Amino acid sequence: MKKQLVSIVVPSYNQAQYLDEALKSVLDQVYQEWECLIVNDGSPDNTREIAEKWTEKDSRFIYLEKINSGLSGARNYGIECAKGVFILPLDADDIISSEYISLAVKSFEANNDIKVVYCKAEKFGDDSGIWELPEFSRLLLCQRNLIFCSAMFRKSDWQTVGGYDLKMIYGWEDWEFWIAVLKNGGEVKCLDEIGFYYRIKETSMLKQLDESKINYLYEYISIKHADFFVTQLGSFQKLLENVEKAKNENNQKLKSEKFVIDAFCSRFFGFSVFGIYKNKKQV
């Protein structure tokens, strides 16, 4: 049986110094039926020079160039051009193990109900060690992202949901994408092997998120996927009833609206608003 093509999409913006390592990890794959689309997202560095060196080395590397539009736009452009049945995004500063694609494809072939395959992960760079990720569930997916960007999915599912959302301009585009792909069903498989290595750097887009950007992202995801949150958490009226019940049961502890909000956020989003505020004041 002919093996199905996997398209690895590598956006690059000011990441040229790491690109060789990422592409070397692609070249080392045990699974040979792949193409790798390197998307230069209007980068001012020498991304083109490095990418073209790899296209000369192996014709499965394909160089694409576009006007800068951000990570979602660069991924979408690469996936649009991709010929593979399966898509694996790979950021230009990360790397994958040689077995990752082979094991992921086998998982898809063994179960047609699977929509997303990812794996255990490890950090490297400015920090190192196992990246502890909680076991996937849709309920937890309501609270935070559980799957890193380099998970494999079918191009057809990307087409169904309209790709990565360009309005996720500050980040968290992976979280929104996984919600879109998985909210109406489908299984998720986490491989029991370390197949993804995530580079930790002193500066990153996520580390630059401030309160206003975070609020924008939460509000946008909540409105766009309100059906998903209601399905997993219950109606908004039910949420209010739960808060009121908690207030009544803990009357001495929950005497103000502040404590009610804090209990709500701790229950459904996993953080304490006023604990964060207190810590900020102490810094």
Residue predicted with more confidence, 283 or 259: 259
Which tens digits make up the pLDDT trace of 47-59?
Answer: 999 999 999 999 9
pLDDT number for residue 125: 86
- Confidence at 277, pLDDT banded by 50, 70, 90: very low
What is the mean predicted confidence (pLDDT) over 260-279? 57
The model carries a pTM of 0.82
**Per-residue pLDDT reduced to its tens digit, 4-24:** 999 999 999 999 999 999 999
Closest to 246 measured CA to CA, from 229, 226, 262: 262
Structure confidence at residue 274 (pLDDT): 52
Q: Name the average pLDDT for the chain.
A: 87
The domains located in the chain, with CATH, are 6-207 (3.90.550.10), 211-282 (no CATH)
Share of the chain above pLDDT 70, in %: 81
Does the pLDDT of residue 252 top 80, yes or no? no
CA–CA gap between residue 10 and residue 34 (Å, rounded)? 13
pLDDT grade for 258, boundaries at 50, 70 and 90: low
pLDDT tens-place string over residues 214-246: 888 999 999 999 999 988 887 766 666 666 666
Q: Is the pLDDT of residue 112 over 50?
A: yes
From the list 165, 168, 148, 276, the residue with the least C-alpha distance to 213 is 168
Strand partners, 200: 125
* 189, containing H or E segment: strand 187-200
> What's the farthest any 2 CA atoms get from each other in the chain?
71
Quickly state the pLDDT bin for 276 (edges 50, 70, 90). very low
Q: In the chain, pLDDT over 90 holds for what percent of residues?
A: 68
- pLDDT band at 212, cuts 50/70/90? confident
For 12, the 3-state DSSP assignment is strand
